[in-house]
Amino acid sequence: MVSEPLLTFPTDYPIKVIGRPSDEFRARVHAVVLRHVPLLDAERVSERLSGNGNFLSISYTLIAESREQIEALTADLKACEGVMMLI
């Protein structure tokens, strides 16, 4: 029995990166995302500070081309300095 893939590519793929708010954190995360999704549309990026300002979440809606692209991106983001969580 062959199972159907969960995603059909290309597809919109949302990902949220959470860490401490700083320009350096923002720049590191954005550089990683651009390495994997060079044609990133700035309109599909948003930021939100936590209620008390201790955490910053950066949300991306990417156009993912393959499962391998998503896996490589998430691995690089997990290894990125300052990233506390991926959703």
User: How many domains would you assign to the chain?
Assistant: 1
Residue 36 near residue 69 (C-beta atoms within 8 A): yes
DSSP 8-state symbol, 50: -
> Does 6 reside within a domain?
no
Count how many residues are written for the chain: 87
Strand partners, 60: 15, 45
Structure-token pair, residue 63: 């156009």
DSSP 8-state symbol, 44: G
pTM of the complete model: 0.91
| pLDDT tens-digit profile, the chain (87 residues) | 666 667 899 999 999 999 999 999 999 999 999 999 999 999 999 999 999 999 999 999 999 999 999 999 999 999 999 999 999
Could you tell me the residue range of the domain that residue 48 belongs to?
11-86
Q: Which CATH number fits the domain that encloses residue 23? A: 3.30.70.260
> Does 3 reside within a domain?
no
